[in-house]
Each structure stands twice: as structure tokens, then as C-alpha cells.
Amino acid sequence: MVQKSPPGGPATQAGGTGSGSVPTPSRPRLGRGPRLAGARRKAGEAFRAGRNRLEPTVAGRVWKQLAGLGVIDSSLQFAAVFTLGFIPFLMVLSAVLGSGPSRVIVIGSGFSFSAQAGHDVTALFAHGRTAAASLSMPGLGLAVLGGCAISHMIQTWYAKIFRTRIRGWKAFARRAEWLAGVSGFVALQVVIGRRIEPLSGPIAAASAQFLLAAAFWWWSPHCLLSGQIPWRRLFLAGLATAVCCTGLGVYIAYVASPSIVSNEARYGPIGAVMTLVTAEIGLGVAVQLGAVIGAVVGRSTNPGGHSAH
């Protein structure tokens, strides 16, 4: 039963005081803006504190130099030039040596694509089994230009990493010498694959490939920088680059090869190209990362040791 209230007054229930019908004012909620701003400020402070602690370390200096090189952008450019220009050069070289191109396509890794993946990659650049050997003179010229472009790119990286300069005809002569060294390196890879692996097994062959890669990447900056950096200060760069390339080789053998086969079957040649370019981007990162590790550690153990002389 509801009692009537006086005019202008609220209606109340029987036996009630009438206070329950009056809405209680709600407390104003705190805005989310100040709380989010505080969280952002704390996160920024934590990030800056972590960065300040990391910068003096070897890892911090390596990351800083890689960022200065623009490692991702430069590796993308490297992959484009390598795929369009340097792979034809390596395929001509493999044809001269009488070897399949699946191992030499990713130079310095010590691993190769599987047989089916190597066939799919070869089909991207050659029509028929003898196309590489019967390359026309313009095609051979373009292959040589691709090799020159890759050698120039790596030489530029080394000059920035080790803080040296090399210009003019001396730089060009060193790039030509490096391409000759690449030919010898590929020939030794073929010898290991043909002689050591059948007789001693895959572990011995992989060990020989690693030692060969370490020697090649130890020699490469010394060659391309015209001997401005002593051998002993380049050893760690060669070793680190060989380790990085070996990791890339494992990816190529166990991840990229099945991906090339499946993508080529599903999407056609463009699928194989996508996986191949990814592997070449990884090669560009591996070359820069290995050299930067060697340079940073060398400067920390011998400050001023990478100055040209």
C-alpha cells in the first residue's frame, strides 16, 4: 500500500521513512588519462634505465653499430642484388666447376638446399639443364656486374664497420681479387662435398665446411680493405661470421628447403622466390653481424686498434 505524500512531496511506502527513494549521489570516478600517463612514464623510465645499462656492454655496442648501419634496409638491398645479379654469377661458376648450384647459391653457409629445392631454385634462373653453361655474352656480362655489385656492397659495409677508407682503383682491384677468392672458395666447397663427405661422413664434411667458411670470412675484410686491418684483429670477425652463416645454413637445410618446395607447388615460381629472398636477407644480416661483433670486441680489447695504417 502506497501512502500519498503531501503536494510536492515524494510518495512513500507504508511503514517506510521515505529516505530509500532518494537517489544517492555517485562518487566521481578517477579518469583513466592520468593513470595511463603514469604507466607510460614508468614504462619509459624503465626502458631508459635498461638502455643505459645495456649501452656500455658489448651487446649494446653491437646493437648500436648495427642500427647505424641500417642492417635491415641494407640486407634487403643485398638480397635484391644477390638474387638478381650474384646468383647468376655463382651458377655460371658452378657450371664451370661441374657442380650443382644448390650449395653455392648461399655462399659461406656450409649447407645447401635439398635436391628438390635446388632444382626449383635453378629453374628460376635457367631454362634447361645446360643453360648456365651456354650463357650468352650479355648474360655473362650481367653476371659479372652482379658479382661486382655484391663485392662493392660488402666492401662498403666493412669500411664502415672497421672505420677505414678505400677508394679509386685500389678498391676496384680488391673487389676483383675478392671475386677470384669467391671462385676458389666455391671450388673448395665442391671438393669437400665430393671427396670428404663420401669418405668421412657428414660430420667431418660439415666441420671442414665450417673451417673453410671461417677462413674465407677472415680473409674477406683483409682483402676488401686492402690489408688496413691486421690479421689478428680480423680473426674474431671471421669466426663470428662463420658461426652466423652456419646458423643460417641450418635454417636453409631444415626450414627453407621444405618451404621452397611447398611454396613452389602452391604458388609457382613466386613462392620459391619469396623463400629464397628471405634466405639472402639472412645472409646479409649474418655478414654484417659477424663483422660488427669482431670489430666491437676488438675495439674493447684494443682501443684504437682498428685505425687504418
pLDDT at position 17 is 47
pLDDT at position 192 is 86
The average confidence (pLDDT) of the chain is 79
Is position 219 within any domain?
yes
Please report which confidence band the pLDDT of residue 14 belongs to, taking 50, 70 and 90 as the band edges: very low
Percent of residues, the chain, with pLDDT higher than 70: 73
Task: Look at residue 56 and tell me whether its pLDDT is greater than 90.
Answer: no
Would you tell me the crossing angle of helices 269-301 and 257-267 to the nearest 10 degrees? 150
Task: Look at residue 34 and tell me whether its pLDDT is greater than 80.
Answer: no
Specify which residues 3 forms β-bridges with: 12
Is position 65 within any domain?
no
Please report which confidence band the pLDDT of residue 177 belongs to, taking 50, 70 and 90 as the band edges: very high
Is position 142 within any domain?
yes
Least confident of 44-48, 232-236, 291-295: 44-48
Task: Look at residue 199 and tell me whether its pLDDT is greater than 50.
Answer: yes
Please report which confidence band the pLDDT of residue 213 belongs to, taking 50, 70 and 90 as the band edges: very high
pLDDT at position 296 is 93
Is position 265 within any domain?
yes
pLDDT at position 240 is 96
Task: Look at residue 139 and tell me whether its pLDDT is greater than 60.
Answer: yes
Is position 11 within any domain?
no
Percent of residues, the chain, with pLDDT higher than 90: 34
pLDDT at position 210 is 92
Cα separation, 298 vs 288, whole angstroms: 15
Is position 100 within any domain?
yes
Task: Look at residue 133 and tell me whether its pLDDT is greater than 50.
Answer: no
Is position 105 within any domain?
yes
150: nearest Cα among 169, 121, 176, 118: 176
Mean pLDDT value across residues 92-100: 73
pLDDT at position 283 is 92
Cα separation, 176 vs 170, whole angstroms: 10
Question: Based on the structure, what is the number of domains in the chain?
Answer: 1
Mean pLDDT value across residues 268-274: 87
pTM over 0.85: no
Mean pLDDT value across residues 107-136: 64
Number of Cβ within a 10 Å radius of residue 154: 20
Helix intervals (H) in the chain: 32-54, 58-69, 71-81, 87-97, 115-125, 137-161, 168-191, 197-200, 202-224, 235-251, 257-267, 269-301
Task: Look at residue 4 and tell me whether its pLDDT is greater than 90.
Answer: no
**Is pLDDT larger for residue 92 or for residue 55?**
92
Q: Which domain holds residue 292?
A: 71-301
Mean pLDDT value across residues 162-175: 92
Is position 144 within any domain?
yes
| Cβ-contact 303, 61 below 8 angstroms | no
Task: Look at residue 129 and tell me whether its pLDDT is greater than 50.
Answer: no
pLDDT at position 174 is 95
Please report which confidence band the pLDDT of residue 249 belongs to, taking 50, 70 and 90 as the band edges: confident
pLDDT at position 215 is 96
Please report which confidence band the pLDDT of residue 16 belongs to, taking 50, 70 and 90 as the band edges: very low
